[in-house]
Amino acid sequence: MKTILVSIAGLSPQIITETLYYYLIERKPPIWINEVKVLTTYPGKQKIMETLLDKNNGKFYSFCKDYNINPKDIKFDESSVLVLGGDAPIEDIISDKDSAETGNEVVKFTKEISMIPDSNCIYSIAGGRKTMTAYLSLAAQLYGKDDDVLSHTLVSPDFESNRDFYYIPPENKEMEVKDTFGNIIKTLNTKDAKIYSSEIVFLKLRKFLNTKDDLFYDDLVGIAQKRIDFCGDKIVAFDIKNTSVLLGNKKVKLRPIEICIYYLFYYFKIKCKNDFCGDCTDCYLSVNDLSSDDNIKIILNVYEKIYSKNSGHFERLSESFKNQNKGNEFFMQNVSNINKKLKKHLNAFEYPVYRISKTGNYGKRYGIFVDKRNVKRETLYG
């Protein structure tokens, strides 16, 4: 498991080496950082390349040398520094348009890092424009994983405002503080400097989102909010005998075979070992799964609650399955019919939650988004 330091930077990139110093040197126990990722403006990237990543005088290399760290052990180079706007870089954030674009860029940047396998992140919100750090905090809430950290690195006031201070060196050094005219006001000693971090507890909403979606910041917040609002007060309850299902406060009537197939997806959702669904699709079924012998038995067991085993309806369906007259096309046609009826009865937000949706480009699998905790289990059999 690797740890990635995710940082926002402006024209004072000292915060990056200060944060590295805190987690690698000051913190007890230390947290090893394997990689640094930075989002900044175009002038900010130039500043980072000049002050931190210059091979001869860069403060990142000075830090590594001072503390006997091989700089190759921390992936931090020009490719680690992304510029807001990409090929059309944002110079500064001064308008509502700049702010909206920044929000989308920060969310995209955060999401891509959060998808790196076997990794966790330290989100540093101490540098850059306040707009950028606010967006990083919110993006961390949207995509942060369970072990991720939201961190605000703090530096002693005298040193925080000193552009020559990048970290506390192992050997004490004196630093001059000058006014705007270049006159020496006072002299500081690095032995008096303090660097520490405030780690902030934050909400993690990742499980309310589908990480496969590429959406704008405003849309993501809207979806997360609606799904939070939706949890807890929207139930799923089956009335098999009357071939209907209660979805929230909407009762939807389905054909007997449709209610049995729709039921099947909830049956596997409840059987799933995970306590919370989120963007998990472990319970989703392939077309071949739907027509498997075991699942046909489940469908027939439910069908028997509507029509007795001795009825003509039951015998005809059972015989059709036995003779393999009900193949993949039969199931997909019913899935389509179920979704059409759901769409007719549900509003624009409810429908995506309750419909039978698919995942994957190849070998598609089908399932329902709604969280298993909303399902009234006493209305399910088995």
Give per-residue pLDDT as tens, 20-53: 999 999 999 999 999 999 999 889 999 999 999 9
Q: Residue 213: its pLDDT value, please?
A: 65
Q: What is the spatial distance between Cα 276 and Cα 211, in angstroms, rounded to a whole number? A: 16
Tokens 């038995």 — which residue? 297
- List of residues 6+ apart from 160 with CB closer than 8 A: 154
The alpha carbon of residue 51 and the mean position of all alpha carbons in its chain are separated, in whole angstroms, by 32
Q: What is the spatial distance between Cα 330 and Cα 338, in angstroms, rounded to a whole number? A: 12
Q: Taking a C-beta distance cutoff of 8 angstroms, is the pair 227, 208 a contact?
A: yes
Q: What is the spatial distance between Cα 237 and Cα 251, in angstroms, rounded to a whole number? A: 9
Q: Taking a C-beta distance cutoff of 8 angstroms, is the pair 165, 193 a contact?
A: yes
Amino acid at 53: L
The alpha carbon of residue 4 and the mean position of all alpha carbons in its chain are separated, in whole angstroms, by 15
- The neighbouring-strand residues paired with 2 are 119
Instruction: Please spell the DSSP secondary structure of 66-88, one letter per residue.
Output: HTT--GGGSB-SGGGEEETTTTS
Q: Measure the N-to-C terminal CA separation of the chain; round to a whole number of Å.
A: 40
- List of residues 6+ apart from 365 with CB closer than 8 A: 281, 284, 285, 286, 289, 358, 359
Q: Residue 58: its pLDDT value, please?
A: 96
Q: Taking a C-beta distance cutoff of 8 angstroms, is the pair 22, 122 a contact?
A: no
Q: Taking a C-beta distance cutoff of 8 angstroms, is the pair 8, 132 a contact?
A: yes
Q: Residue 382: its pLDDT value, please?
A: 46
Quick count: other Cβ atoms within 10 Å of Cβ 196? 13
Per residue in 106-136, is it b (16+ CB within 10 Å) or e — as a string? bbbbbbebbeeeebbbbbbbbbbbebbbbbb
Q: What is the spatial distance between Cα 145 and Cα 120, in angstroms, rounded to a whole number? A: 7
pLDDT digits (tens, 9 = 90+) for 321-371: 887 767 788 999 999 999 999 999 988 778 888 999 988 777 789 999 888
pTM (2 decimals)? 0.62
Residues of the chain under the 50 pLDDT cut: 382
Domains of the chain: 2-225 (3.40.50.10770), 232-379 (no CATH)
Instruction: Please spell the DSSP secondary structure of 182-221, one letter per residue.
Output: S-EEEEEEGGG--EEEEEEP----GGGS-TT----HHHHH
